[in-house]
Structure 1
Amino acid sequence: MPALTFLGAAGTVTGSKFLLEGTGTRLMVDCGLYQGERRWRALNWEAPPVDPSSIDAVALTHAHLDHCGYLPALVRGGFAGPVHTTAGTAALAAVILRDSAHLQEEEAEGARRGGWSKHDPPLPLYTVADADAAVAALRPVAAAGAGRVVQVGDSESYGEGATLTFVPAGHILGSSSVLVELGGSSVLFSGDLGRPDHPVLLPRARPPAARTVVVEATYGDRAHPEVDPEHRVMAEAIRRTIRRGGSVVVPAFAVDRTEIVLLAIADLAESGAIPDVPVWVDSPMALAALEIYRDPAHAAEVRPEALARLQRLSGLRTAHSAEESMRLNNPGTPCIIVSASGMATGGRVVHHLRHLLPQARNTVLLTGYQAIGTRGRDLQEGARELKMAGRYVPVRAEVVTLDDFSVHADADELLTWIGELPQPPETVHVVHGEPAAAQALAHGIRDRFDCAVSVPRYGERVLLD
């Protein structure tokens, strides 16, 4: 009988990994890195709970690191099958995986030179060569549409095999919900669901029917505030900072969030709501992702007016080399620095925070969800010091959280998505949320729909009808 095992995003909001087994096929849906708390990050380094060489194929819902970032480690461990996903996800994942590997190699070398690692010698989780091997396994399906189908396996090698259907999820470019049909069972994985008013992407498609649904719960316990099209909180924070001679640091996810933040800053500058100051994009990965969003090959997923604005976005200054990036730590005049990563877990934004947080004239703008255990969450909760590169750095800069940049569906939008299924599901599993958020969404599903609901534990295995 087909079975589903929860190997990630169970009890936490990162590390998505779900194993499906049945009819001679072993399929993994998503293969993400754990981020945030140390107890979860430690799982990245443990031996995988299933032999990678025994997995026939992987399906990716989208390219964020907590959904695809473990792939190079899986490949190094012996996985040799295809990785099925959309064309947009394949393009972005190639950039993200190589950047992740480069940062890990760089961090390991920095720890070795600085002597602040507990390991001797400190090693990366995986290398750029491992990432290249994972990228070579990507098998993009056709461009986004009402649903693109992939057949996994054949009668000779995988028994009856499995069918994958990718349906646009409207979260980031290429993001999809994935329907898996296996041995008479059907399981719909929501992936990360976007909002109906995403400023860059077209709205998600309606979900297909499935007997079992696995739904994310990132914002399962809350409703997003109404979006302010004038971004007044952001504008006021930038104006305050510039008046006192400081710089604004915006930790932003390199994919999708950077595009949205840049368009908002451009709107504020064009309307005169903020002074004309240099706007720096300091993330090679964000710049590469911006080019993918601008690529006409993916125009079917992007709002036409947003694509036109992205293509003519001008006035940006870009820091490509490490030397250019380091000069921004002492910019001389007020500026805005948009840099990855979005939760300040790594990337160039960390060294900007290290140099700019101790100065009260500067400001940090947090533009999205901050997972427990990340520096972004610590700043959001009022931390007075942050530990970076083995040292504690005082936090004197202003910290502002912006609530109108999230591209995750909130609780009501998640319930609406389930309600759009052609027939009610028999079972819903709530994943990819902090415990309180997952339980809150589970209660909401029980109240509204006549189905069984669970919040799975890590490693839990359930049979599929």
Structure 2
Amino acid sequence: MAQLTTSGRAPVLTFLGGTGTVTGSKFLVDGGGARLLVDAGLYQGERRWRRLNWEPPPLEPGTIDAVALSHAHLDHCGYLPALVRGGFTGPVFATSGTAQLAAIVLRDSAHLQEEEAVSARSGGWSRHDPPLPLYTAEDAERAIALFRACAYGEEIAVGEASVRFARAGHILGSASTLVRIGEASALISGDLGRSRHPLLLSRDRPPAARTVVIESTYGDRQHPDEPGDHSLMADAIRRTIKRGGSVVIPAFAVDRTEIVLLALADLQERGEIPDVPVYVDSPMALATLDVYRDPVHEQEIQVGAIERITRIGDLRTAHTAEESMRLNNPGRPSIIVSASGMATGGRVVHHLKHLLPQARNTVVLTGYQAAGTRGRALQDGEREIKISGRYVRVRAEIVSDDSFSVHADADELVAWLDELPEPPESVYVVHGEPDAAEALAARLRAEADYPVVVPRLGERVLLD
């Protein structure tokens, strides 16, 4: 891709990621004497996308004046240390919740990058010699030092442009980002939450903008009518405990683990699942739970929601690697909640390695599984999956509970657009697998009276 340059022409929006796939979100607004990058996400999933993490950036990181983060999930913030490594030194604007959570996410990501490089070197299964991390813990700390926490609704100046965050209701601190340059304006949705979230208050009504960029993760489907119905998971837990097995629940450390624990607490309280040990095996998830408990965020969280988690009868934590390894043979039926949610990395991978070959065990998938991930392979019924260079037999039961998603579905995405104070002049559909993005775009074209486009990677459009 050609290098991008700043000019005095009309503001330009460039799609540097999050197109053609559901990860890697990066959107560059260039104008008003400034370059603002909205999100700096890491590609995940299929190898063809992950390889883009290693490609030279399409612009010099040192020419970016500022970054605005929509939220703390890796596919929206995980590339930030690589930008810093490449020379970016500007401020990173984010809500307080996002700044706190992203610091946890980036430290964990850097640790996993370094750990995977060491493992690949010792195991000899990498094609690179020597295998190196995309970025280091030092790069992550330098990125975290650039965070500037902002309140929802606060006007932030970047050159002649301004940035403002509106609550998106996806995870704690999540926001849609409004960028204004003179008469031009662009609203980038970030990941939008559901109209009813188990933990958080509902999202804000979106502000007016001439150009809207909307995610489409679930652009081709609707969620179950009852978001709190976890009967599938409850049935799977009862079956597994009866046959003497353990239940492994891959769950993202940020937000998803908290929602899973809340559901388990409610199921136990209603007597729908037995009182067995519930292990949280993710230092990152435990750190995240502390952020959710911080009183500074109480205006975003439903009253009493966090306290309900403590109702789990036998809640245990695994902090050290040794404690985690012992869960591969817990000695009694147990429930293990461990990151990551798509089983792409983290401690859940070694749990799967040891527990998948045993038919008495169960894996409960709790949300969207991107193409190319181990979670998607399990969801699609693969009988062997690759872990650390070797294939593992899948004999365990695999169950998908779709009631956990906190992504807006197709109806809720359309409803968010309908809530705009005035119709936009153009809408761009991003951050979805091709079928999902095209389905949402087709529906909007049929129902609305503005241009709707699914942009290509690297495409540039005017914002005047």
8 Å CA contact retained: 1:294, 1:311: no
Aligned to 1:288, the other structure's residue is in SS state helix
- Partner amino acid for 2:421? P
- Partner amino acid for 2:364? L
What is the percent sequence identity of the aligned residues?
Answer: 71
Distance, in Å, in 2 between the alignment partners of 1:201 and 1:279 is 23
Give the corresponding residue for 2:285: 286
User: Does 2:142 align with 1:133?
Assistant: yes
Aligned to 1:343, the other structure's residue is in SS state coil
Distance, in Å, in 2 between the alignment partners of 1:61 and 1:112 is 35
Identify unmatched segments of 5+ residues in structure 2: 1-9
Offset at residue 184 of structure 1 (A)? 2.2
8 Å CA contact retained: 1:209, 1:422: yes
Q: 1:313 to 1:137 in 2, by over 3 A?
A: farther
Offset at residue 87 of structure 1 (A)? 0.3
Count of aligned residue pairs for this structure pair: 455
- Partner amino acid for 1:363? T
8 Å CA contact retained: 2:32, 2:181: yes
Give the corresponding residue for 2:448: 449
Give the corresponding residue for 1:320: 319
Give the corresponding residue for 1:71: 80
Offset at residue 32 of structure 1 (A)? 0.2
Give the corresponding residue for 1:209: 208
Aligned to 1:31, the other structure's residue is in SS state coil
The equivalent position to 1:38 in structure 2, one of 28, 33, 47, is 47
8 Å CA contact retained: 1:103, 1:347: yes
Offset at residue 118 of structure 1 (A)? 1.2
Give the corresponding residue for 2:195: 196
Q: 1:97 to 1:40 in 2, by over 3 A?
A: same
Give the corresponding residue for 2:118: 109
Offset at residue 403 of structure 1 (A)? 1.1
User: Does 2:56 align with 1:50?
Assistant: no
- Partner amino acid for 1:223? Q
Offset at residue 227 of structure 1 (A)? 2.0
Aligned to 2:306, the other structure's residue is in SS state helix
Give the corresponding residue for 1:150: 156
Give the corresponding residue for 2:308: 309
8 Å CA contact retained: 1:230, 1:268: no
Q: TM-score when scaled to structure 2?
A: 0.97
Aligned to 2:263, the other structure's residue is in SS state helix
Distance, in Å, in 2 between the alignment partners of 1:176 and 1:461 is 23
Identify unmatched segments of 5+ residues in structure 1: 154-160
8 Å CA contact retained: 1:2, 1:183: no
The equivalent position to 1:26 in structure 2, one of 35, 38, 57, is 35
User: Does 2:17 align with 1:8?
Assistant: yes
Aligned to 1:242, the other structure's residue is in SS state helix
- Partner amino acid for 2:89? A
> How do 1:331-342 and structure 2 match up within 5 A?
331-342=330-341
Give the corresponding residue for 1:348: 347
Stretch of structure 1 that moved more, 387-396 or 265-274: 265-274
8 Å CA contact retained: 2:275, 2:313: no
8 Å CA contact retained: 1:61, 1:178: yes
Aligned to 2:125, the other structure's residue is in SS state coil
User: Does 2:369 align with 1:360?
Assistant: no
Distance, in Å, in 2 between the alignment partners of 1:63 and 1:148 is 19
CA displacement 1:251-306 (0-9 Å, x = unmatched): 00101110000011111112221111110000111110011011111101001121
Distance, in Å, in 2 between the alignment partners of 1:232 and 1:347 is 27
Offset at residue 228 of structure 1 (A)? 5.5
Q: 1:228 to 1:46 in 2, by over 3 A?
A: closer
Offset at residue 462 of structure 1 (A)? 0.8
- Partner amino acid for 2:77? C
Offset at residue 311 of structure 1 (A)? 6.3
- Partner amino acid for 1:391? R
RMSD over aligned Cα atoms: 1.1
Distance, in Å, in 2 between the alignment partners of 1:269 and 1:300 is 28
Q: 1:344 to 1:216 in 2, by over 3 A?
A: same
Offset at residue 232 of structure 1 (A)? 1.2
8 Å CA contact retained: 1:249, 1:365: yes
Stretch of structure 1 that moved more, 437-446 or 201-210: 437-446
> How do 1:147-296 and structure 2 match up within 5 A?
147-153=153-159, 161-227=160-226, 229-296=228-295
- Partner amino acid for 1:286? A
Aligned to 2:377, the other structure's residue is in SS state helix
> How do 1:364-403 and structure 2 match up within 5 A?
364-403=363-402
- Partner amino acid for 1:271? R
Distance, in Å, in 2 between the alignment partners of 1:52 and 1:116 is 31
- Partner amino acid for 2:157? Q
Distance, in Å, in 2 between the alignment partners of 1:263 and 1:123 is 39
Aligned to 2:76, the other structure's residue is in SS state helix
Aligned to 2:437, the other structure's residue is in SS state helix
Offset at residue 230 of structure 1 (A)? 4.7
CA displacement 1:315-350 (0-9 Å, x = unmatched): 321111111111100111110000000000000000
Give the corresponding residue for 1:157: none
Give the corresponding residue for 2:414: 415
Offset at residue 463 of structure 1 (A)? 1.1
Aligned to 1:134, the other structure's residue is in SS state helix
Stretch of structure 1 that moved more, 106-115 or 416-425: 106-115
Q: 1:162 to 1:226 in 2, by over 3 A?
A: same
Distance, in Å, in 2 between the alignment partners of 1:294 and 1:210 is 34
8 Å CA contact retained: 1:281, 1:339: yes
- Partner amino acid for 2:429? V
8 Å CA contact retained: 2:264, 2:312: no
8 Å CA contact retained: 2:275, 2:314: no
